[in-house]
Structure 1
Amino acid sequence: MQLDFFPSWTLTRYLAKMFVARILAVLVMLVLVLLMLDLLSTSGEILAVEGNGQGELLTYAGYRIPQLIQRFLPYSVLLATIIALITLNQNSEVIAMKASGLSAHQVLAPLLLTALLVSAISFAFNERVVTRATASLKAWEATEYGALPKEEDARRGLYLTDGSDILSATTTTGRGDRLSLQGVTWYSRKETGQIVRQVRADSAVFAGPGWRLEDAVIFDVGTAETGDAADIVVAPGITPSQIELESVDADALGFMELRDSIQAYKASGRPTAELEAKWWHKLSGPLSAFLMPLLGAVAAFGLARSGQLFVRAIIGMALGFAYFVVDNAALAMGSFGGYPPFLAAWAPFALFFLVGETVLIRTEE
């Protein structure tokens, strides 16, 4: 019986339903509170743009909610674990389960299974929703909350050099030869770095070679004169592939898209440690929800009347939050090459899995 982790499907369904209800309740509470605080700090910038109003605030909230869900779902699983296990302990349900012959691992098995399903749903949600919302929000932030990006594949802008000249854009859309730039500025400079001419345009398309600025406004620094030009081609040395590499954002790309970008970086001889660490973290991040019932399990056991239940809950929260601290630190180390990318993404998970198992076995098994 000790090797059968689900000896009673009635008990499994009961614990899973209770766990899911608490995860959703905690997640909704966290998202609403944090969204309110975020809007309080950001609404002034959004409404400062002429023409922005309630619709733009709702749009911003629509972009931010998926990001908040992604970030705080593991926290919700941790807090839901502690709340659920404290409730079971106080009602003597844990004692009843252990008296019937269930081990600590069998008591936790329904919660771990539920958390594993939450991890799978979180990964799919991140791939389909969060990456697109992040890309759109960053593209909108690049325009300082001005015109909303119309294209779904809009990405934040770029800043590239072509010799001594500079090409910048607030947003980019499209791929390959169909790549287009918005909010374009071209700085023509001498080799000494002195700006000779500035050209601005609302958009630019690839002219093969160079980029054709449409309805450009030219400012000559030497004469301080401004003039208009229907079309002008600049930056002949900058290609769409260079722009795509420059505008790679790991948070705004899906798992397979980021893998392709990493391969393109390697082919061009550019460093990939930061991108690889974030690529692996796209798997280990959602899977952290699976770890939370194990770290919070210390709250389930021990007599409620012993007066140590609150201390056990604090220990469970401390273990969970320590994991997130170590995980963020390891990811930062992996981003600048301090750790190998694979180790940066997976070492905290493996470490705290062993810590959770050790605490559970030594205290209850």
Structure 2
Amino acid sequence: MTSFFPSRTVSFYMGRMFLIRTFGILAGLMIVLLALNLLSESGKILAVPGNGDGEVWRYASLRAPELIAFLFPFSVLLGTILTLITMNQNSEIVALKASGLSAHQVLAPLLVASFGVAILSFGFNERIVARASATLAQWQQVNYGPLPIDRGDRSNVWVRSGDDLIQVAQIRGRGDAAQLGGITLYDREGGILRTIVTAPRGRRDGDGWRIGPAKRFDVARGTVTALGDLTVGQGVTPDQFTLATVDPNGLSFTALQSAISDLSEAGRPTKSMEGALWHKLSAPLSSVLMPLLGAVAAFGIARSGKLFIRAVIGMGLGFAYFVADNFALAMGNLGAYPPFLAAWAPFLLFLLIGEAVLIRSEE
């Protein structure tokens, strides 16, 4: 292992330089994008009666994790290029090559550091980003109003029961243990709305759902009647509520696996969800590609005047990967690519491109 890496001192020096630049760029880009996002959303937040600075900061705290996850690979790419350009200008790369190190050995500390960043990115996505995305999506569905919804719950689900429509503001749990909150039943006959039944909570009861304490509003008479508990939605299964809206961005890897299993058992299509599941692994690992794609900035004589062009080529390769990744995901969602191919094909393709660039640099 020691023969593959430069000396311990050089490895720590390169790794520290790379991490400092990567996280510095990440912080700068995140602050800029968050500020721009707040400019567009703060007006909507403050337009809701009762909202103030606290709600704006709450939005920032929910939006920031999404931006960090989005910017992680970009920051690794730019951090790699900046690190290698600095070392090239200071003739440190030349010194390492002159000592007998290959291009792979020169990049080894950056590859190890980027792999650590990939692990950190995956854990950050699982523990923070998924929860923040789910909460923010629920808050935006109520137009930044009061949010009586716990993290991870499904919200604003519509189900049809015969001619009737059932809207549920909140669903907790799965299967027969599912709990409904904020139920509104639109009772229709022949497409004409007759009554509206509302209830704060509901649970599974036989083949239907027992809700209560219910109130009925008669559209024609304009009267409200207290009904107590009653059973509605005969024939409506729990998966129609719990699987009506599955947002991959708001679920962790294991939670999305469970949702895909439930969808498959219910006979629902799962191809796009499977692609999103694989992408939860390939997206963080894209950080490992960035040192390979940015390596073109490391090799070559700095005084030749082409260092800037090399940096631009490195950035172009990195951004080409992100374009190919988004394109493959879109094709996977359309069913044109298998889920595994949609998530991993760009990664494998640009891994080969990065290796080709590195081997060319050796020659």
User: What TM-score, normalized to structure 2?
Assistant: 0.94
Give aligned pairs, total.
363
Q: Secondary structure at the match of 1:145?
A: coil
Structure 1 Cα separation of the partners of residues 152 and 240 of structure 2: 17
Q: Partner residue of 2:326? A: 328
Q: Partner residue of 1:135? A: 134
**Cα distance change of structure 1 residues 202 and 36 upon mapping to structure 2, 3 Å threshold:** farther
1:280 CA drift (Å): 0.5
1:198 CA drift (Å): 2.3
Q: Partner residue of 1:294? A: 292
Q: Secondary structure at the match of 1:343?
A: helix
Within the alignment, does 1:8 sit opposite 2:7 as a pair? yes
Structure 2 Cα separation of the partners of residues 350 and 218 of structure 1: 59
Comparing 22-31 with 176-185, which one deviates more in the overlay?
A: 176-185
Structure 2 Cα separation of the partners of residues 48 and 201 of structure 1: 28
Structure 2 Cα separation of the partners of residues 214 and 39 of structure 1: 40
1:155 CA drift (Å): 2.8
Once the two structures are superposed, the pairs formed by residues 239-254 of structure 1 within 5 Å of their partners are 239-254=237-252
Q: Answer yes or no: is the 8 Å Cα contact 1:185–1:199 preserved in 2.
A: yes
1:188 CA drift (Å): 1.7
1:316 CA drift (Å): 0.6
Give the alignment partner of residue 285 of structure 1, picking from 283, 286, 302. 283
**Cα distance change of structure 1 residues 232 and 144 upon mapping to structure 2, 3 Å threshold:** farther
Structure 2 Cα separation of the partners of residues 61 and 231 of structure 1: 41
Structure 1 Cα separation of the partners of residues 48 and 238 of structure 2: 31
Q: Partner residue of 1:194? A: 192
Comparing 236-245 with 82-91, which one deviates more in the overlay?
A: 236-245
Structure 1 Cα separation of the partners of residues 145 and 22 of structure 2: 36
Q: Partner residue of 2:337? A: 339
Q: Partner residue of 2:31? A: 32
**Cα distance change of structure 1 residues 150 and 271 upon mapping to structure 2, 3 Å threshold:** closer
**Cα distance change of structure 1 residues 263 and 154 upon mapping to structure 2, 3 Å threshold:** closer
User: What TM-score, normalized to structure 1?
Assistant: 0.93
Cα displacement string for residues 315-363 of structure 1 (whole angstroms, at most 9, x for unaligned residues): 1111101100110110111112110000000000000111111122113
Q: What one-letter code is carried by the residue in structure 1 that aligns with 2:27?
A: V
1:233 CA drift (Å): 3.3
Identity %: 53
Structure 2 Cα separation of the partners of residues 264 and 153 of structure 1: 16
Once the two structures are superposed, the pairs formed by residues 76-225 of structure 1 within 5 Å of their partners are 76-190=75-189, 192-225=190-223
**Cα distance change of structure 1 residues 245 and 150 upon mapping to structure 2, 3 Å threshold:** closer
Q: Partner residue of 2:52? A: 53
Structure 2 Cα separation of the partners of residues 181 and 142 of structure 1: 17
Q: Partner residue of 2:314? A: 316
Structure 2 Cα separation of the partners of residues 253 and 360 of structure 1: 37
Q: Secondary structure at the match of 2:84?
A: helix
Q: Give unmatched runs, 5+ long, in structure 1.
A: none
Q: Secondary structure at the match of 2:243?
A: helix
Q: Answer yes or no: is the 8 Å Cα contact 1:138–1:155 preserved in 2.
A: no
Cα displacement string for residues 185-244 of structure 1 (whole angstroms, at most 9, x for unaligned residues): 222223x43322223344444444433444544333344444454444321222323211
Q: Secondary structure at the match of 1:246?
A: coil
Structure 2 Cα separation of the partners of residues 227 and 322 of structure 1: 62
1:19 CA drift (Å): 0.5
Q: Give unmatched runs, 5+ long, in structure 2.
A: none
1:5 CA drift (Å): 2.1
